[in-house]
């Protein structure tokens, strides 16, 4: 049988490419991986439709990118602790990832990428929206860029976990809200340099950024609010519509994203793996 040709097709103006002609349940050659790796750096969101993947297949593909992260606040699947079932059931009024964020920036070394595989997709709704943070940074004035240069922000997970988060009563996905939970807090640059492309990306987000370094929350908030609003201007976004058996991989170092909260009567089930990253600089 003739080998299929791997095709990378751009599907969004700000981010997003579809990759066809590849079966991710098989080992990739180094040449195939090099093309996919470059596509991630170029397009930030890669979508692989029509993939039939076991948990082990997903883990094997994720491991091509690096070590896998174990989530600090969400329990993994019983036999596969690296995989989190991201699930929304009819009647849930909230769900995981419904605020703009880069994943788990409370960590000293937040994940470089996240892979999500769709098992059950609502007939309408349940899209994921991504915003390109290179574009967000580039669109700032030179005065704002100069001001942000060298600035750092404190990130923590108290809005997404812990006894005060209060998320579990509204959603199927349970975060650690136990009394002995302890907040993870780390400082990151407000503008980070992507370790592979060398490009600058805005790096603050609604879910995890708490305040700016050496400032109170109140002092920080006006500037952070401006940056949050700016970070997801429509022209920086790519809205992803899922179909079943689709694998999507995204680059957390240069994107914020959110899961739309618009399918309250539907069941949505994804399997998600995070790939370890390095310390932002
Ligand atoms: C996430 O924020 O990692 C989940 C996104 C989604 O469910 O679409």
Ordered DSSP codes for 140-155:
S-HHHHHHHTT-EEEE
Q: Which of 47, 71, 87, 96 to mutate to test the pocket of ligand 1 (most atoms within 8 A of CB)?
A: 96
User: Which atom of ligand 1 has the smallest separation from the CA of 257?
Assistant: 2
CATH of domain 7-275: 3.60.130.10
Residue among 253, 256, 111, 145 at smallest CA distance from 195 = 253
Q: Is any atom of ligand 1 closer than 6 Å to the C-beta of 246?
A: no
CA distances from 208 to 58, 186, 215, 249, 256 (A): 27, 10, 16, 21, 11
What tens-digit pLDDT sequence spans the chain (281 residues)?
556 799 999 999 999 999 999 999 999 999 999 999 999 999 999 999 999 999 999 999 999 999 999 888 888 999 999 999 999 999 898 889 889 999 999 999 999 999 999 999 999 999 999 999 999 999 999 999 999 999 999 999 988 888 888 888 888 888 888 889 999 999 999 999 999 999 999 999 999 999 999 999 999 999 999 999 999 999 999 999 999 999 999 999 999 999 999 999 999 999 999 999 999 99
Model pTM score = 0.95
134 with 201: CB under 8 angstroms? yes
CA 30 to chain centre: 25
Q: Where are the chain's structural domains? A: 7-275
């Amino acid at each position: 049988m003739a080998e299929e040709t791997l095709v990378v097709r751009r599907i969004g103006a700000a981010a997003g490419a579809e990759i066809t002609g590849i079966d991710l349940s098989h080992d990739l050659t180094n040449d195939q991986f090099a093309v996919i790796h470059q596509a991630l750096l170029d397009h930030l969101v890669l979508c692989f439709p029509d993939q039939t993947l076991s948990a082990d297949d997903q883990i094997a593909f994720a491991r091509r990118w690096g070590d896998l992260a174990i989530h600090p606040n969400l329990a993994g699947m019983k036999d596969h602790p690296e995989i989190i079932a991201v699930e929304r059931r009819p009647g849930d009024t909230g769900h995981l990832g419904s605020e703009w964020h880069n994943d788990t920036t409370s960590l000293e070394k937040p994940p470089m990428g996240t892979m999500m595989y769709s098992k059950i997709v609502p007939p309408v709704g349940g899209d994921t929206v991504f915003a390109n943070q290179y574009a967000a940074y580039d669109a700032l004035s030179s005065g704002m860029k100069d001001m942000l240069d060298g600035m750092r922000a404190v990130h923590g997970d108290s809005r997404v976990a812990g006894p005060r988060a209060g998320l579990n009563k509204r959603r199927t996905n349970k975060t650690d809200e136990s009394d002995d939970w302890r907040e993870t807090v780390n400082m990151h640059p407000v503008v980070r340099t992507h370790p592979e492309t060398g490009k600058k990306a805005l790096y603050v987000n609604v879910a995890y950024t708490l305040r700016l370094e050496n400032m109170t929350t109140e002092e920080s908030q006006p500037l952070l609010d401006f940056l949050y609003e700016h970070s997801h201007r429509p022209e920086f976004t790519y809205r992803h519509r899922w179909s079943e058996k689709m694998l999507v991989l995204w680059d957390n170092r240069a994107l914020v994203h959110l899961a739309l909260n618009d399918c309250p009567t539907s069941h949505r089930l994804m399997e998600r793996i995070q790939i370890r990253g390095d310390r932002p600089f």
